[in-house]
Amino acid sequence: MMEYAIPLFFVLTGGPGGGKTSLIEELKSQGYPCVEESGRQVIKDQLHREGHALPWKDKVAFRDLMISRDKKQYIEALRKKGPVFFDRAVPDSIGYSQLEGLPLPETLYEILRSEFRYQRLVFITPPWKEIYMNDSERKQNFDEAVRTYHTVAEAYRGLDYELVELPKGTVQERVLFLLNKVKEVTGG
């Protein structure tokens, strides 16, 4: 494994509807560089193009487009300063694949252990029924969201990440908790 400094990339993950996007929006409003969730971007793009790479049509094509977009976003984020916050990241695709019973190329594990590393501390939003909503990109029910949470958590742990569950609360309280943890890691 090639040794190199891991960028100040922090991931927010979890099941759908746990508040990740709201947290990313708040971090953006405070001036932090953020990376949007690739799954939503892929779905919007595929719906616009009337494409087939959608989780309800072709799960493998959808997953592969997410991985491709996540890798591209990682490389682009290397040009950004300070901590960068990701609404999901490449390892989420392992969780998605396991949840859906999709085969994964061994090369994906290799690159996730060497090239595409994020800070060891990964923030995970717990399932939260009171704020869970479906929309044009999110069609899972709450039980599926809970299963996704557990599968994604397992995928990150399997890649030696340490998960920190974000407490339920207001967006501002959750962001403050997150930023305090980031300061502990970065020393600033």
24 CB contacts (<8 Å, ≥6 apart)? 12, 34, 36, 37, 85, 87
C-beta of residue 84 within 8 angstroms of C-beta of residue 7: yes
Which band of pLDDT confidence, cut at 50, 70 and 90, is reported for residue 139? low
- 37, pLDDT greater than 50: yes
Name the one residue in this structure whose structure tokens are 């989780």.
55
Q: What is the pLDDT of residues 79-101, one digit of tens each?
A: 998 899 999 999 999 998 998 99
Tokens encoding 92? 């989420």
| pTM of structure | 0.89
CA gap 80, 82 in Å, rounded:
7
Of 24 and 113, more confident:
24
Instruction: Please tell me what DSSP assigns to residue 174.
Output: H
Question: Percentage of residues in the chain with pLDDT exceeding 90?
Answer: 58
pLDDT of residue 1: 39
Which band of pLDDT confidence, cut at 50, 70 and 90, is reported for residue 2? very low
50 CB contacts (<8 Å, ≥6 apart)? none
pLDDT of residue 132: 52
Domains of the chain, start order:
9-186 (3.40.50.300)
pLDDT of residue 133: 58
- 3, pLDDT greater than 60: no
